Structure 1
Amino acid sequence: MKTESHSINDVLAKNATSFFIPPFQRAYAWGKPEIERYFSDVSRIIESHLDSKQHDKLEHFFGTVVIKEEKAGFANKSVVVDGQQRLTTTLIFLIALRDTETDPVKQDFINQNYLTNNSSSFQDKIKLKQVTKDWDAYKALVNKTQPKPGVISNAYELLKKFINEKKRLNPEVDFEHYIIAIQRMNVAVIFLDERPFKGEDPQIIFETLNSLGKPLTLSDLVRNFVLLNMESKNQSDIYEKIWHPKIEEVLFDNTSKFFRDYLQYKTVSSLKVVSDNNTKELYQQFKDFVDTEFENHSAFINDIVRYVKCYKWIITEINNDTISNDNYKDKEIKELIRNIFHDIKAEAFKPFVLGLLEYHQYTIDGVRLSDELLISTLKAIRTYLIRRRILGLTQGENKNIVLLSKKIEGIAKGNTSMLELLTNMFYRLRLPNNTEMSAALVSMNFYESLKHYSKLILGKIEEHNSKVSVDFRNPKITIEHIMPQKLDDSWKVELGEHFEEIHKNYLHNIGNIILTEFNSEIGNKSFEEKKRKLNTSSLNYRLDVIKRNVWNEQSIKEHQTNMINWFLDTFPLPDQYKDKANWNTQTVESTLFSPLDSDAGDIAEGNKPIELHIFDDIIKVNSWQDVFIKFLKFLKEKPEYDFEYILDNQLDMFRRDETILKWSSLKELIDSNVDLTSRYKTFDGKVWDKVKELSDDLLFIHINISASNCMSRIASVMEKLFLPDNSIQIKLK
């Protein structure tokens, strides 16, 4: 085995060499994100070349190519063991470049140097022989005929589009600049030894290179990117003195999330939640940001370290640091942050609050956020979130709240307020007014519908009324029903002849709920016994209960009214917002959303779809599994989409191989696990035992998925098939 450094141009332009991709290689699989990244790298090289101020022109390391060379007569055949995605993309790019040129000399230059080879034994003297699945489409592109729709043709059309756009935006960029770019894209070429005793069998090498292992996290990639361009001594010093102690040791497993939220705040844009599927995409966005915004990596390190302590305060539930020098205000700020991020778990506000804390901790352009403004802003956020959670509203927050980050300076200067910003969002992001809240609290199942927030709400009401902090997180503090969940004879008498109806209507209502420290001790006791026990309680709630002689429908309604008024006082709105329509009535919001929206999963969860829009087609749907089935059915029935590609790349797209199965395979699974019967349906929405004729090739789709998973699966297919963001949209009920 030997390794040599070459430009990808030198590898592909060898006149006496043809390339063969062996059958154990997977078919071409680069989607839109990878193609965009490829063209971005090409563009950066060209921009460096055109910049007269740059003496050392930019080059780009394009990864590794593993080759085993074989003699084929007087010519060489290079078996591509690894790196075929890079080689194929570059050749498709060169074909797209050829086809955007009108000069026959330039077209012939590409054909003769990169695409064909007189010594090639492959059809039409084509230099690179693709795997069988890609061969016809690739061959058609080389020969300037119409290729079959699929991933190869998608990549070609996208690269051609990029080249044309570049030409339109910057006419200075021409054919020669693109050739220079690929001459400056370097690869490490590993040549395998063909002698058997060397143990360099291509299949084994391929399996080793692609063996399963723990993927690098976003944090790993960013650290390597920042440090690896420095001298080794500087790398060690910076890692040991700054990076590890001031970032990784502070944030631990939250470091990747920190980088994403930092980038969202700095770019004022919504980015995908970090996952194994999108780590590389987020990393590329991070690299582009650092390269554009900072003079060097040291400047970036100095900037990012400023935010670490602020982010630590956001993610740490019990924070012992000092945020404010005023002890009372320090305690209040910490409690508000804990409410927002640990009690309510509002991920959408992390970038925004990161910015608030930056303006509170540092003076920026002469501006600093005071304790009072920070507290009032955090209170407004908490009120906004609690009011929306009571109504079950989360839609749009992840995608849109981060956009408010650009207004933080205005808040610090006193030019605007958090409430002004939150009441000027579109309807789906509205701040519910008092009328809406009262109507919801009167009728809702407070105990069961708000399990995640009920103790927080009741604890804060108690704290507001008594002016004493309540440890509502303590498991000994519990929510109790005054009218018990099971009625005995004494309670039936207490409630009167309509006891069944009252019990049904008000059991879990806020008017029948109380916070106690008795840990279920008062359970099913009579009302008189409960009053005696409540007399020993230290919580203010008891006063509204023990003053009553009877607990019946009227008592519950009176307590309900008091609770709702206390809620509105605890999570208040200024007078001008109490009964106002607190959204921007001038903004008409689309009722459709795309699976590629960053918050598509959140929008889908808890909602019911009624229409699937695919380009100009509108398809009626009644469930999320229906959306997924009909989306795939549409692609299967349209010849312009390569459905076979979806079948061949299921693990990559859906993170499981058995998402779409033939009946011959599904039958074996069902024989070993009968519970799988209802988890697969045909394109007609039928489970197997409802199908009249079962053929071995009949396809079944795995539909046991959440709404969020449905969005993730469709988004993955859209990216791989280069479907535009708004080509697929969903309308909710």
Structure 2
Amino acid sequence: MAATISVHKQSVVQLLGGGQEKPFVIPEYQRPYAWNREQIETLFEDLWEFASTRGGSKRDGTYFLGSVVSYDNDQTQEIIDGQQRITSLYLLLRAIYTKLVAIPSKTEEAENFISKTEPLIWRVDKLKGKITDRGDILFTSRVINNEGNEILRNILKTGQADPKAKDNYSKNYIIFQELLDEHSVKDPLMVYDFVYALLYQAIMLPITADSLETALTIFQTLNDRGLPLSDADIFKAKIYNHLKDEEKDAFINAWKELDSDAASVSENIQQLFYYYMFYIRATEDDKNTTTPGARKYYSDNKFVRLLSRPDILEELKRILNIWMALYNKGDVEEEWAKDKNILQILDALSSYPNEFWKYPVIIYYLVHGSEPDFGKNYLAFLRKLYVELLTRYLEMPTVSAVKSDILKLNVEIINTAKPKFGFKPVDDAGLDARIITPNSKVVKMILKVLAYEEQDDLLPDKWEVEHILPQKWQSTYFINTDDDTIKEMIEHIGNKLPFEKKLNIVAGNGYFTKKKTEYAKSTIAITKAMAELPADEWKLDSIEDHDKAVVAKVREILKRWNDEYTAQQQQPQQAGPSAEELAMIEKFKANGWVK
């Protein structure tokens, strides 16, 4: 169904008068009110100057206040863009109303504008035709964890603000009052023309959408000021607003902790929600290769996918455990997180050129992480995934090469800890050549696995791909060999090593005999071993020999991991203890019968 968008210019009276049917709301995911004195004075002075020269009751001018993007959310209008102007307008209207009602002997003009302003701020009783409750305000801020929400409400209700307050609502309301007093003294006859111009000649362009997704898209198209709202801002607000009051503080604290932990491993909450989307899709048997945006996906059916999962932050935290364990950040109190083989294969997978490796890795962990044989099964699964991803990328270095296969695998994982990999077969006959001259994006993926065959520790954080024969060579070093051949051979896998960045800088573009000194200092086993080679030179035939050795080793690893997974699949899956059995075990422990 096509999105419905309504656009039509309105005066302040027309726009804010619509609040009688559907009050205005600053939704939870918006940032706090931030206008300062300069912006408040600019708005007021511009309007006063307009009323004095081009507008007012005797002229037909118009003053454009800007656009407002809102989302028609059943009983309310959620302000998506324009919250700073709308909020400031309400504060100005309340300041005007306060001044008008304070006049001892009210003129007809004062009575008129009092009656016109009241229904813009408060709900009118439909039967009595008047304001009966000044607490029934047509404008509300629900910004999360913002004490200013109640301050704004109190100002609009009572017309009073604390002169010592530091919040923007109070300060700006007082500034409006001061400006009104100051201009009334200078030009008392202009006050009513100013109010008239504000209500009837100040024009806004409201853009109303029938869905949050559409409203946000319009907002991002129009708005190039400041930081746009992130998906995570919206998800946070929707979950927060769905919680019971006693749960909200704990949620905010948990969110802050998750945000901090994610940043420590170069992830963010928004990405975690995106990964989690693939898990939900798998549970729904969704194999569609068209990937929706996270905001569009979660906002469907009024955010039911978010709001129906009370443990969603805990599950996002579990997803983050994979990166926390890999980068040794914090304590992940699970056995698999201490398994060097699992950490090494995760590290190797992390060098895959796009994020599609992450989705089955995460889903497998979320679904099967508590099963008795998880560590053993996870390792076999991860290694098999590496085999499929590497060989497919070597043959076809694009996302589309594995996209549909990954989505099918995701669904398989939901049903079994030993899923079938239905990946398209690769051309085995051409595999050797593709390993020798791999796409540059998977060189690190290959070098990591070769390195981990020789050491237990993870590779250092900062390392680079070292060209043993340097990329800048002296032509006199080779005889009867054209430059194109040399350039090609330099990029062969047999001419590359993982090497610490600092040592690589020192080694520079030196030749093998000079580089061996730096290789000897390396903590990477396969690089350190190069320093022990008896050869004094490293030439093209050396690269060819090393190519053959690397191909043989990579093939052996791929075959071994394939065979291991096949054998794993053929073993019957052990059933974990039932809930009743687990309860019995806990009872035995409590009584000291078992440890």
TM-score (norm 2): 0.51
Query: Using the alignment, how far apart are the partners of 2:520 and 2:257 within structure 1?
Result: 52
User: Are the equivalent residues in 2 in contact too, given 1:64–1:189 (CA < 8 A)?
Assistant: no
Cα gap change, 1:390 to 1:520, in 2 (>3 Å): farther
| Structure 1 residues 246-285: aligned runs within 5 Å | 247-251=258-262, 254-268=268-282, 269=286, 281-285=296-300
The change in CA–CA distance for 1:261 and 1:7 in structure 2 (over 3 A counts) is farther
Task: Pick one of 195, 198, 201 that aligns with 1:197.
Answer: 195
Matching of residue 510 in structure 1 with residue 493 in structure 2: yes
Do the aligned residues in 2 keep the contact of 1:314 with 1:338 (CA within 8 Å)?
no
Deviation at 1:374, TM superposition (A): 1.0
Preserved contact between residue 495 and residue 546 of structure 2 (Cα < 8 Å): yes
Task: Give the match for residue 56 of structure 2.
Answer: none
Q: Distance in 1 between matches of 2:268 and 2:520?
A: 46
Contact preservation (8 Å) 2:354, 2:399 = no
CA-to-partner distance for each residue in 1:399-422, whole Å, 9 max, x for gaps? 66244322114432x4x3xxx32x
The counterpart of 1:486, out of the listed 473, 483, 487, is 473
Task: Show the counterpart of 2:204.
Answer: 206
What is the alpha-carbon distance in structure 2 between the residues aligned to residue 322 and residue 266 of structure 1?
A: 27
Query: Is the CA contact 1:356–1:369 (under 8 Å) kept in the aligned structure 2?
Result: no
Residue 400 of structure 2: SS of its match in structure 1? coil
Instruction: Give the structure with higher Rg (CA).
Output: 2
Q: Which of 442, 462, 472 pairs up with 1:474?
A: 462
Match of residue 404 from structure 1: 409
Q: Is the 8 A contact 2:363 2:414 kept in 1?
A: no
SS of corresponding position for 1:479: strand
Q: Supply the distance in 1 between the matched residues of 2:337 and 2:312 (Cα, whole angstroms).
A: 29
Which stretch of structure 1 is more off in the superposition, 354-363 or 557-566? 354-363
How much does 1:194 deviate? 10
Question: How far off is 1:561 after superposition?
Answer: 0.8
Secondary structure of the 2:466 match is strand
Identity %: 14
Change in 2 beyond 3 A, CA 1:238/1:531? closer
* Rounded Cα–Cα distance in structure 1 between residues aligned with 2:255 and 2:330: 20
**Conserved 8 A contact 1:340-1:382:** yes
Look up the match of 2:384: 380
Who is 1:359 aligned against?
A: 367
Answer whether contact 1:265 1:402 (CA < 8 A) is retained.
no
The residue aligned with 1:519 is 504
8 A contact 2:468–2:497 mirrored in 1: yes
Instruction: Determine the C-alpha separation between the residues in 2 that align with 1:224 and 1:526.
Output: 59
Query: Would the aligned equivalents of 2:19 and 2:138 in 1 still touch at CA under 8 Å?
Result: yes
Query: Which of the residues 312, 317, 327 maps onto 2:320?
Result: 312
1:545/1:373 Cα in 2 relative to 1: closer, same or farther (>3 Å)? same
- d(CA) in 2 for partners of 1:470 and 1:64? 50
> Could you tell me how far 1:389 is from its partner in structure 2?
3.9
CA pair 359-219 structure 1, distance change in 2 beyond 3 A: same
- Tell me what 1:55 maps to: none
- Counterpart CA distance in 1 for 2:435 and 2:382 is 24
Residue 330 of structure 1 corresponds to 339
Indicate the residue corresponding to 1:244 in structure 2.
255
Map 1:409-424 → 2, pairs under 5 A: 409-412=414-417, 414=418, 416=419, 420-421=420-421, 424=422
Rate the CA distance shift 1:351–1:23 in 2: closer, same or farther, 3 A: farther
Partner SS state of residue 200, structure 1: helix
Q: 1:369 to 1:501 in 2, by over 3 A?
A: same
Report the AA paired with residue 394 of structure 1: V
Q: Report the number of matched residues.
A: 383
For 2:391 and 2:200, how far apart are their aligned partners in 1? 61
Contact map agreement 2:512 2:538 (CA 8 A) in 1: yes
* Alignment-mate amino acid for residue 341 of structure 2: E
Alignment of 1:10-49 (within 5 A): none
Question: How far apart in 2 are the matches of 1:199 and 1:62?
Answer: 25
Q: RMSD in angstroms over aligned alpha carbons? A: 5.1
Q: CA deviation at 1:543?
A: 5.6
From 305, 325, 337, give the equivalent of 1:290: 305
User: Counterpart of 2:177?
Assistant: none
The amino acid across from 2:255 in the alignment is H
| Amino acid corresponding to residue 264 of structure 1 in structure 2 | F
1:262-661 aligned within 5 A:
262-268=276-282, 269=286, 281-285=296-300, 287-290=302-305, 297=307, 300-301=309-310, 303-316=311-324, 318-323=327-332, 325-326=334-335, 329-341=338-350, 343-344=351-352, 346-362=354-370, 370-391=374-395, 392-395=397-400, 397=402, 401-412=406-417, 414=418, 416=419, 420-421=420-421, 424-425=422-423, 430=424, 432=426, 434-442=428-436, 444=437, 449-450=439-440, 452-464=441-453, 466-469=454-457, 471=459, 473-475=461-463, 479-482=466-469, 485-489=472-476, 491-492=477-478, 496-498=479-481, 500=483, 502-516=485-499, 518-519=503-504, 539-540=525-526, 542=529, 546-547=533-534, 551-572=538-559
**Deviation of the 1:310 alpha carbon:** 1.9
Q: What TM-score do you get using the length of structure 1 for normalisation?
A: 0.43
Deviation, 1:354, is 2.4
CA distance in 2, matches of 1:265, 1:194: 61
Letter in 1 for 2:459: D
In the alignment, the residues of structure 1 paired with residue 193 and residue 443 of structure 2 have an alpha-carbon distance, to the nearest angstrom, of 71
